[in-house]
């Protein structure tokens, strides 16, 4: 079985042989396996939180929550369902000063997550979210027992914790001090904030809108209000009459209907294959340009092997007439939309639910449609097509089938659009509240055991760094570790792993533990250790009270790791890393002896390894950052430690003796 992935030197791209411009939208993989993710997980998480903050309207009680979090490092958020507790929790953590720590969600009960009482759970300056809004009272009772230990760790690490309480969840008297109750913010202000972010001028949405007032008559959750604002935006874009704010709100209100009966009647009345193909295509590519709709409809008919129409092209119905038959039309911008807002979603549901035998072919059509070369087929439209398809799989509980489809797209790197589609499909699964855990578990299995055919390695790398890591960095670290173990040649997964552990001292400690926890690490882990065990961050405390290197446990990991390096890898491989270690020792002040001791202890008094270490030190002298004299002093100090390890008398530094015994010069 081929269980490694290597560099692809020649990227494959689309060929454009017709007239007009070709718009290529970042789908080139360049060999996905050789690329690492473009942005750090910390940056992605902060960007997501920043966007949330932009559309957030502070509820009553938010000020008290901020005060408690600032003074006590912990706040328990309580409030009615739909009040936006989880969003408020994320905003509270985003508003904190950005230090060395990272944002992460705790997942109590997940078999991969350490217990809330584990001393290694909290990193220095971490911003922790414990979202228990959907927890049952039994689960909440179990978690409450561990909250005191968690709070203590948070305080010791100068971290911050926001706990979103479940509905009607009791709280012990000693924790009531840290409880803040929020209420739902003004619905109209939330609605207007979303409209502003949709770039709708205020002079438009300040007009009277009876449909919106009717919508607000019922108690609406923050999510429902956001959805309503999105539908208003879509109605405004469609330019359907009545084309004013009141009319957009009417259409947004009506779009809350399921339209199921209307769609069923339309499908019953339109029995020709060409009509139904156009209906489904318009639903899947809703708001696409008419050219895309036309070509994708023809492709669907070919995919379904429908008989060709023998009518002469000039005698056939034009696209405008055919769209009218399915209650759709092209707007002034040439983009096709149904006459009723929200009708597209109902059509997708109808075809998926009532024509199950077509599902496999519809998925194949979506794949081939994404590969079409058309200047109107943008990256966003391709992504939306995959999202709409994934939505149907997840809605009907077919998450395994969606994962298999992503696997199929990953395995065929002939067209760079397919790996991108696989990333979008897996992202939809990972972001699903119901099936996110299933996808994380599946991706763990793939990273560890699955044959990495085609561009699957690159796809897994992207979803680990860009989707999993921003909220669950520990789980992303484990998956990247498995990928990095299997690399040959290029090391994009190892690069991403090093970037991830660089965001948190806690993650670096955990990674060192993973690499050295067994008495005899594998050769791949010995190679990975050299990259992860970078002496510079290990000796830099940052904003923490002490550096990682000052911890006895980390020192043990370092010694174990270097021992495996010396005994498993050739000197040519570890030479540059040892040289960097010695350079760091030269600048480490009172930690110089510690760094040298760890290297010498790792040799287990093996003369060959001690001599090799000494030769590296001699070679490193001229390039020491403090000058060659500083390098010489470090070498002399190392020699004293080598002599002591071999039971020899310390030799005068000025004599510059031959290499340690048991070796050849």
CATH code, 146: 3.40.50.300
In a domain, 234, yes or no: yes
DSSP percent split of the chain into helix, strand, coil, nearest 5: 60, 5, 35
Which pLDDT score, from 0 to 100, does residue 26 have?
34
DSSP H or E run through 103: strand 103-105
Report cis status (omega within 30 of 0) of the bond before 242: yes
In a domain, 52, yes or no: no
In a domain, 161, yes or no: yes
- Quick check: 41 pLDDT over 90? no
**pLDDT level of residue 315 (50, 70, 90 thresholds):** low
- Quick check: 72 pLDDT over 50? yes
- Quick check: 604 pLDDT over 90? yes
| Per-residue model confidence as pLDDT tens digits over 377-423 | 999 999 999 999 999 999 999 999 999 999 999 987 777 899 999 99
- Quick check: 10 pLDDT over 50? no
511 and 656 belong to one structural domain: yes
540 and 644 belong to one structural domain: yes
573 and 527 belong to one structural domain: yes
| Per-residue model confidence as pLDDT tens digits over 507-522 | 999 999 999 987 566 7
In a domain, 68, yes or no: yes
**pLDDT level of residue 309 (50, 70, 90 thresholds):** low
In a domain, 630, yes or no: yes
548 and 659 belong to one structural domain: yes
Q: Please check whether residue 397 is in contact with residue 362, taking contact to mean a CB–CB distance below 8 angstroms.
A: no
Tokens representing residue 656 in the block:
């510059």
- Quick check: 1 pLDDT over 60? no
Counted residue by residue, the chain has a size of 665
Q: How many CB atoms lie within 10 A of CB 438?
A: 15
In a domain, 487, yes or no: no
Average pLDDT along the chain? 87
Report DSSP state, residue 218: S
More confident position, 5 or 494:
494
- Quick check: 5 pLDDT over 60? no
| Per-residue model confidence as pLDDT tens digits over 266-292 | 999 999 999 999 999 999 999 999 999
Burial environment of residue 477 by CB neighbours within 10 A (0 to 12, 13 to 18, 19 or more): buried
516 and 665 belong to one structural domain: yes
Q: Which of 52, 111, 56, 118 is nearest to 83 (CA)?
A: 56
Q: Please check whether residue 279 is in contact with residue 326, taking contact to mean a CB–CB distance below 8 angstroms.
A: yes
Query: Distance between CA atoms of 253 and 241, rounded to whole angstroms?
Result: 15
- Quick check: 548 pLDDT over 60? yes
| pTM, entire model | 0.87
3-state secondary structure (DSSP) of residue 181? strand
Residue percentage of the chain with pLDDT more than 90: 69
Residue percentage of the chain with pLDDT more than 70: 89
Q: How many CB atoms lie within 10 A of CB 24?
A: 14
Report DSSP state, residue 9: -
Range with the poorest average pLDDT among 196-205, 485-494, 523-532? 196-205
Tally of structural domains, the chain: 4
565 and 655 belong to one structural domain: yes
Q: Please check whether residue 442 is in contact with residue 455, taking contact to mean a CB–CB distance below 8 angstroms.
A: no
323 and 343 belong to one structural domain: yes
Tokens representing residue 470 in the block:
């921003």
| Domain boundary pick from 396, 412, 444 | 396
More confident position, 665 or 217:
217
Tokens representing residue 372 in the block:
């079409």
**pLDDT level of residue 649 (50, 70, 90 thresholds):** low
547 and 616 belong to one structural domain: yes
- Quick check: 307 pLDDT over 90? no
Q: Please check whether residue 368 is in contact with residue 409, taking contact to mean a CB–CB distance below 8 angstroms.
A: no
Which pLDDT score, from 0 to 100, does residue 12 have?
32
Range with the poorest average pLDDT among 36-40, 242-246, 592-596? 36-40
| Distance, C-alpha 515 to centroid of its chain | 23
Q: Give me the mean pLDDT over the 622-647 stretch.
A: 92
The residue whose two tokens read 């760890």 is 598
545 and 641 belong to one structural domain: yes
Report DSSP state, residue 617: H
CA dihedral 312, 315, 320, 324 (to 10 degrees): -110
| Domain range for 555 | 504-665
233 and 338 belong to one structural domain: no
Which pLDDT score, from 0 to 100, does residue 20 have?
36
| Per-residue model confidence as pLDDT tens digits over 128-175 | 999 999 888 888 999 999 999 999 999 999 999 999 999 888 998 889
Range with the poorest average pLDDT among 244-258, 300-314, 513-527, 589-603? 300-314
More confident position, 313 or 499:
499
DSSP H or E run through 329: strand 328-330
DSSP H or E run through 128: strand 127-131
Q: How many CA atoms lie within 13 A of 249 on its CB side?
A: 20
The residue whose two tokens read 């690329």 is 35
Euclidean distance between the first and the last CA atom of the chain, given in angstroms as a whole number? 44
Which pLDDT score, from 0 to 100, does residue 100 have?
78
Report CA torsion sign: 488, 492, 495, 496: negative
Query: Distance between CA atoms of 520 and 112, rounded to whole angstroms?
Result: 23
In a domain, 547, yes or no: yes
Which pLDDT score, from 0 to 100, does residue 37 have?
55
508 and 645 belong to one structural domain: yes
| Domain boundary pick from 130, 147, 181 | 181
| Domain boundary pick from 254, 272, 289 | 254
154 and 228 belong to one structural domain: no
Complete DSSP assignment for 449-486: HS---TTHHHHHHHHIIIIITTT-HHHHHHHHHHHHHT
Which pLDDT score, from 0 to 100, does residue 40 have?
80
Tokens representing residue 213 in the block:
């007032």
In a domain, 551, yes or no: yes
């Amino acid at each position: 079985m081929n269980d490694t992935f290597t560099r692809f030197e020649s990227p494959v791209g689309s060929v454009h042989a017709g007239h007009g411009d070709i718009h290529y939208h970042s789908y080139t993989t360049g060999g996905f396996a050789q690329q690492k993710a473009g942005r750090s997980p910390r940056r992605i998480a902060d960007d997501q939180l920043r966007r949330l903050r932009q559309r957030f309207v502070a509820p009553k009680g938010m000020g008290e929550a901020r005060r408690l979090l600032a003074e006590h490092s912990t706040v328990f958020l309580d409030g009615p369902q739909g009040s936006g507790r989880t969003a408020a929790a994320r905003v509270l953590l985003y508003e904190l000063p950005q230090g060395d720590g990272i944002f992460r969600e705790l997942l109590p009960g997940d078999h991969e997550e350490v217990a809330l009482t584990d001393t290694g759970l909290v990193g220095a300056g971490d911003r922790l979210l414990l979202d228990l809004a959907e927890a049952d009272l039994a689960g909440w009772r179990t978690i409450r027992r561990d909250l005191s230990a968690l709070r203590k760790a948070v305080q010791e690490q100068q971290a911050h914790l926001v706990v979103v309480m479940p509905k009607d969840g009791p709280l012990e008297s000693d924790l009531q001090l840290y409880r803040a109750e929020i209420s739902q913010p003004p619905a109209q202000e939330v609605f207007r904030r979303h409209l502003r972010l949709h770039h709708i001028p205020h002079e438009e949405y300040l007009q009277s809108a009876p449909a919106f007032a009717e919508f607000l008559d019922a108690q609406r959750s923050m999510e429902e209000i956001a959805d309503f604002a999105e539908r208003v935006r879509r109605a405004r874009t469609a330019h359907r009459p009545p084309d004013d704010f009141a009319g957009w709100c009417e259409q947004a209100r009506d779009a809350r209907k399921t339209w199921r009966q209307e769609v069923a009647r339309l499908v019953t009345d339109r029995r020709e294959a060409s009509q139904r193909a156009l209906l489904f295509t318009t639903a899947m590519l809703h708001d696409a340009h008419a050219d895309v709709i036309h070509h994708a409809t023809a492709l669907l008919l070919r995919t379904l092997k429908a008989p060709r129409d023998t009518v002469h092209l000039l005698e056939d119905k034009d696209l405008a007439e055919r769209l009218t038959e399915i209650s759709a039309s092209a707007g002034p911008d040439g983009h096709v939309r149904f006459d009723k807002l929200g009708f597209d979603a109902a059509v997708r549901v109808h075809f998926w639910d009532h024509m199950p035998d077509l599902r496999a072919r519809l998925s194949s059509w979506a794949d081939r449609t994404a590969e079409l070369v058309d200047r109107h087929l943008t990256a966003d439209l391709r992504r939306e097509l995959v999202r709409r398809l994934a939505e149907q799989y997840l809605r009907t509980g077919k998450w395994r089938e969606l994962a298999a489809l992503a696997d199929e797209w990953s395995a065929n790197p002939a067209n760079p659009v397919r790996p991108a589609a696989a990333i979008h499909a897996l992202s939809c699964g990972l972001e699903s509240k119901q099936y996110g855990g299933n996808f994380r578990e599946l991706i763990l299995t793939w990273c560890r055991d699955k044959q990495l055919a085609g561009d699957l390695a690159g796809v897994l790398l992207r979803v680990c760094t860009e989707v999993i890591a921003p909220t669950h960095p520990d789980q992303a670290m484990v998956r990247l570790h498995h990928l990095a173990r299997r690399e040959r040649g290029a090391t994009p997964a190892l690069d991403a792993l090093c970037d991830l552990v660089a965001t948190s001292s806690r993650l670096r400690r955990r990674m060192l533990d993973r690499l050295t926890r067994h008495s005899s690490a594998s050769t791949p882990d010995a190679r990975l250790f050299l990259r992860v065990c970078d002496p510079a961050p290990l000796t830099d405390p940052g904003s923490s009270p002490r550096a990682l290197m000052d911890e006895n446990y980390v020192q043990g990991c370092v010694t174990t790791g270097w021992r495996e390096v010396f005994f498993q890898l050739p000197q040519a491989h570890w030479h540059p890393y040892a040289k960097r270690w010695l350079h760091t020792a030269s600048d480490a002040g009172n930690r110089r002896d510690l760094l040298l001791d760890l290297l010498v202890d790792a040799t287990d008094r093996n003369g060959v390894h001690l001599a090799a270490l000494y030769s590296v030190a001699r070679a490193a002298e001229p390039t020491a950052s403090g000058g060659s004299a500083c390098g010489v002093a470090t070498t002399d100090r190392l020699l004293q430690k080598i002599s002591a390890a071999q039971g020899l008398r310390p030799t005068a530094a000025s004599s510059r003796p031959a290499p340690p015994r048991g070796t050849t010069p």
